[in-house]
Structure 1
């Protein structure tokens, strides 16, 4: 079974194939595809976007809604549209968080960086999706495998295997899925009321509940503030010192003065160490200010933090030699890129595709294998620490748009 006929391929292509399969339909995929089609709009009919939810940015919207996140951390110039100023020109500029609070939902942007509100950003993306007719490119399925097939002009084409047993033949694949593994500290045992932040439902929080939030980053602060606003008694416990930064990664990591030395480092393992060193947890100045004005207690520099469910006492959190009984523990400890959580990528890695402990080793064009490209956080060894955010998505889009599709079409195989 093939999805290709429903994708409206050009007559010059075999009827069961497309030029490109993009895996995932989140902000990374949207950014790459929007830029690509801006450069070559005729390519739209030769692209399939495979997404298990069958809709654009479903996981992104669900995650932000679940944690009641109202404002993005990225600046207003980082978004999926090709024009850098497209969002800023659409929404107002509010000079400080103080003046923006009441007007943010009307204006759509917050602070000197013009950070988009979640609602405004989604409306902006939805308009872009509708203008470029990208809903027609979606294939509602999950990619479970990818097999390289040698083409007649010496390059590989790909047979992309889906969970419904069907396949899509493509000359190239762009993996844009949010392929990450949750980071859980060694001393934290998940279960019951001890949860990773990705599973937290703020709607279930009751008045007077005692909640310990482990972590010192944006997610920890956001969850703590929202839980306190619902009447919970919240304590944020972070292993290290308090870190405040308005961007999750310094903007210099999108510029040559940072990236040139990074790319000059030939050892992928050393590049990974640089990325991990830069990506330390921090929160924005406006969130830090809100927390300091709230009833949230904060313990910084606590060292190793432990947590476990206890059937008799309830959740127990420990730090600095003291254990406390609480009603809930949330580990806001983030996640790390890991290709091995995706069966299709894990199989390619097991077959010899290069990686460093789950981080694919790509070339300068973001190519992992012949005709197989990777964007998003998994591209950090090439793009640097900002690979997983919207600025990194724009950098990846520039690379792929300038590279363009492979010139040879005679190598496409029909399945």
Structure 2
């Protein structure tokens, strides 16, 4: 029997695992991390490489090592050039990733890794049992649910039918695959950081035309929520609220959805000025196949012609792991808010020995739960309870 099983080996799950191992709460033999991918944070690395991210949006103290100053020490000891950027000291992506992997190697995290897909969870006699797609079952004292939210791409209404008919012409950035292999013109749809990174990267790398289509003017924000949500400035009031409908409304209001950093805005405008990028601010009404590829009918502006569409329209909203977690909720009568997300205690415990991180913890942690800062908060609470 394991002491801990962590379901999900992305930023969230690996942050919890790293803290457990770092503080010697478990040995490698007592911990199991189950994830569909071969390596830790593989989805993160693949996605950030695909969109061409060079610097993180988060500051230097947000990473997976329990020591908040570890990344700065790492940058100095390894003599990284331009290791951090801007007022908030945002770290280089390649340095951040290498820092993660060296941490994992140091604490032996990969010895606890199992590539598999979880399909069920059972509780009996004070013990949790995790079943997987490979028809294996693993018993454990404690479980952490740290599944991601990006496995279910969101397709706007106008794109859903076209996607089925023209899968090679309409793609979503959350779909599997490392590279974007379109030789000629391409249009990126979306108004947030992912779309902006994609448009900026493609306009720098490609000879064919690149168009960015967004519904609203650029909105600039340093972070995806106000830094006050990291501490008592906003959390004191948030923690006093016992109505989970109200908490959900506060989270939705606090998130700066569809925003980009000033630096990325400057890069996009530079590419537009150099005629390497066309920026269209309008709403897509319909997309038609044409001899040239696709014809996009806009609400107010001229039609856009492109060979392919690349959507950066986010993920479907909903419970991570809902394919099997819904059954677990019903079977053990786990408390949920009206939005369907877990109601947990201050330690992020949902039921004895069952903990949550990431999006599943946001009704307790607030709007930062899904990002790296939230991963650090979740890991600290979970490990302190062990």
State the 1:131 CA deviation. 0.8
| Aligned equivalent of 1:182 | 153
Are 1:55 and 2:39 counterparts? yes
Contact 2:46-2:178 within 8 A present in 1 as well: no
Structure 1 residue runs without a partner (length 5+): 1-16, 94-103, 152-156, 405-415
State the 1:291 CA deviation. 0.6
Cα RMSD between the aligned structures?
2.4
Cα 1:375–1:307 change in 2 (3 A) is: farther
Measure the CA separation in 2 of the matches of 1:347 and 1:168.
18
State the 1:37 CA deviation. 2.9
Instruction: Identify which of 228, 231, 236 aligns with 1:260.
Output: 236
Are 1:287 and 2:264 counterparts? yes
Are 1:158 and 2:134 counterparts? no
| Aligned equivalent of 1:409 | none
For residue 174 of structure 2, give the secondary structure of its aligned residue in structure 1: helix
For residue 99 of structure 2, give the secondary structure of its aligned residue in structure 1: helix
Cα 1:337–1:255 change in 2 (3 A) is: farther
State the 1:336 CA deviation. 5.0
| Aligned equivalent of 1:4 | none
Contact 1:32-1:393 within 8 A present in 2 as well: yes
Structure 1 stretch 236-245 or stretch 122-131: which is displaced more?
A: 236-245
For residue 241 of structure 1, give the secondary structure of its aligned residue in structure 2: coil
Measure the CA separation in 2 of the matches of 1:77 and 1:336.
30
Are 1:132 and 2:111 counterparts? no
State the 1:329 CA deviation. 1.7
Measure the CA separation in 1 of the matches of 2:93 and 2:270.
23
Measure the CA separation in 2 of the matches of 1:310 and 1:147.
49
Instruction: Identify which of 290, 293, 310 aligns with 1:314.
Output: 293
TM-score normalised by length of structure 2? 0.87
Number of equivalenced pairs = 369
Cα 1:348–1:42 change in 2 (3 A) is: closer
Measure the CA separation in 2 of the matches of 1:374 and 1:306.
40
Instruction: Identify which of 176, 188, 204 aligns with 1:213.
Output: 188
State the 1:86 CA deviation. 0.5
Measure the CA separation in 1 of the matches of 2:53 and 2:86.
16
Are 1:145 and 2:120 counterparts? yes
- Per-residue CA shift, 1:340-363, capped at 9, x if unaligned? 654331322343432544433323
Are 1:248 and 2:224 counterparts? yes
Query: Where do 1:49-88 residues align within 5 Å?
Result: 49-88=33-72
Structure 2 residue runs without a partner (length 5+): none
Query: Where do 1:188-207 residues align within 5 Å?
Result: 188-189=159-160, 191=163, 192=167, 193-199=169-175, 202-206=179-183
Cα 1:262–1:223 change in 2 (3 A) is: same
- Per-residue CA shift, 1:209-238, capped at 9, x if unaligned? 333222111111111112212123222222
Cα 1:348–1:317 change in 2 (3 A) is: farther
Measure the CA separation in 2 of the matches of 1:92 and 1:45.
33
Structure 1 stretch 179-188 or stretch 367-376: which is displaced more?
A: 179-188
Query: Where do 1:5-404 residues align within 5 Å?
Result: 17-91=1-75, 106-151=81-126, 157-180=127-150, 181-189=152-160, 191=163, 192=167, 193-199=169-175, 202-206=179-183, 209-229=184-204, 230-279=206-255, 280-294=257-271, 295-300=276-281, 302=282, 304-308=283-287, 310=289, 314-322=293-301, 323-335=303-315, 338-339=318-319, 341-351=321-331, 352-353=333-334, 354-404=336-386
For residue 64 of structure 1, give the secondary structure of its aligned residue in structure 2: helix
TM-score normalised by length of structure 1? 0.82
Measure the CA separation in 2 of the matches of 1:390 and 1:363.
21
Cα 1:360–1:313 change in 2 (3 A) is: farther
State the 1:87 CA deviation. 0.2
